[in-house]
Amino acid sequence: MSFPVLAPAEAAELIAHGARIGFSGFTPAGSAKAIPRALAVRAESEHAAGRPFRVGVLTGASTGPSLDGALAAALAIQFRTPYQSDPLLRKQINSGEVEFVDLHLSTLPQALRYGHLGKLDWAVVEVAEVSANGEAVLTTSVGASNTYLRSAERVLLEVNRRAPAALRGFHDLFEPEDPPTRRELPIFNVEDRAGLPVAQIPPEKIAGVVYTDEVDECGSFGPATEVTARIGAHIADFLAAERLAGRIPNGFLPLQSGVGEVANSVLAALGAHPYIPVFAMYTEVLQDSVLELLLSGRIRFASTSALTLSPASQERFFAELEYFRPRVVLRPQEISNHPEIVRRLGLISLNTAIEFDLCGNVNSTHVLGRNLMNGLGGSGDFTRNAYLSIFSCASTTKGGAISTVVPLVSHCDHNEHSVQVVVTEQGVADLRGLDPWQRARRIIERCAHPNYREGLLAYLAQCPPGHQPLDHRSALSWHERFAATGTMLAKQDAVLT
């Protein structure tokens, strides 16, 4: 069966106002690009003619400028889930212009199958190739693409000629049965596979293909700073000590790591540490630092849902596909982030926080408790089920005006029962086996910036007796002070540094 070859504008014309669309992309890796840009142009044209045009956007996670950026600029997004990182879209969400549902990434496919996210009208997915019988090779991510392709009423494919057809075999596409008939997920080692290397799409669902030749819109992160390097060194030293103490097996455990400059610094420190052995990763994103450690042999295998690589690193990956073929697998986010597998494999999870409080609760999504930054992403999937869960961040931001260690988080994404270790450039606070008051003192001593330690100790001293150190009258006073004065520092505290 041959499929209609469409221009991007022709594909966009097929999509009606109010449609719900499942787009490929987990980070900008593998995101649809040409059709969403054309859809944004169509929305602008419809708006200029006085007609409404907005759509619901479902993806794997964040995307790139050609998807979230273009559609947000065209005021074309009515609904968005499960995660985003576009500055304009963030502004529209926080102003109430766009409905945003923040989800654990592992739960998105099941929520869609159960109908909690409405009917999916279209799947718009980037592929490296598609055969006449509907077998499609995905590109640099899986995300939720396999579920979108199966669930959507109709399908549009972007065939990206830049992505080699030799990517066939890197993907392991598997969708579990839904409760109550779900069996155990057959992933017992990071290398195990449970599904197919291709997506199988009923040919009659494919409304057309659009040919493109575009690189993923993944940027590169800057070099390590003094702060991120110190965080990385603290975590590497801590994990090496845990291994030497026998609390981590001698052969080590698989790692999950978030994305960003802190994550790069942590992975670089782990790769260079003499007492960290060769290790594996079972994670949701593979970024440049992981690629380098795979090439050097410090990482033996990486299971991921996306190759979030800078353009130069992506070209290197494509040029050395046969080296990476036995060392990398791409899975759906429902599998890469699944609690059952995370718990079984005994993962060490490494994620970043916006702020954490004296009990160890972590806010990773909302600034001052109100305004969304990006979303929850997969951090909760891993944190709640990891053998060892670690959160890190700099001890201050905004030039020292904000302490990331606060009396009480302004929004809680990960509670004290799931968070085991917190790290800043100041040091490591291992919270395991400590009661709430002991946790608070350790966090102040090990992680708080010196400018804020006295203030935190003063807050702790005024807390009334109880199992938790909590003073209702002043728990959020630091956030209120920042909103009123532009700093969390009280007048008597040290000057900003």
**CA atoms of 453 and 446, how far apart (whole Å):** 10
- Cβ atoms of 346 and 387 within 8 Å: the answer is yes
- For residue 282, give the nearest of 208, 240, 345 by alpha carbon: 345
Q: Where are the beta strands (DSSP E) in 190-325?
A: 199-200, 206-212, 255-257, 279-282, 299-304
SS3 13: helix
**CA atoms of 439 and 441, how far apart (whole Å):** 6
Which H/E stretch holds residue 79?
strand 77-81
Is residue 284 part of the annotated active site? The answer reads: yes
- For residue 316, give the nearest of 338, 290, 298 by alpha carbon: 290
Active-site residue among 284, 355, 416, 425?
284
**CA atoms of 86 and 63, how far apart (whole Å):** 8
User: Measured on CA atoms in the order 37, 41, 47, 52, is the torsion positive or negative?
Assistant: negative
Distances (CA, A) of 67 to 29, 166, 458: 12, 26, 48
The helix-helix angle for 261-272 and 288-296 (nearest 10°) equals 10
**CA atoms of 228 and 218, how far apart (whole Å):** 21
Which H/E stretch holds residue 102?
none
H-only helix segments in 21-163: 34-48, 70-73, 87-94, 108-113, 145-151
**CA atoms of 478 and 355, how far apart (whole Å):** 12
- For residue 453, give the nearest of 381, 486, 386, 405 by alpha carbon: 405
- For residue 11, give the nearest of 27, 29, 23 by alpha carbon: 23
DSSP states of 139-179: -SB-BTHHHHHHH-SEEEEEEETTS-GGGTTSB-B--PPPT
**CA atoms of 256 and 126, how far apart (whole Å):** 26
- Cβ atoms of 494 and 451 within 8 Å: the answer is yes
Q: Which residues contact 403 (CB under 8 A, 6 or more apart)?
A: 355, 395, 396, 448, 449, 451, 452, 455, 456, 478, 488
Name the token pair of 320: 């050395």
**CA atoms of 294 and 298, how far apart (whole Å):** 6
Catalytic site residues?
284
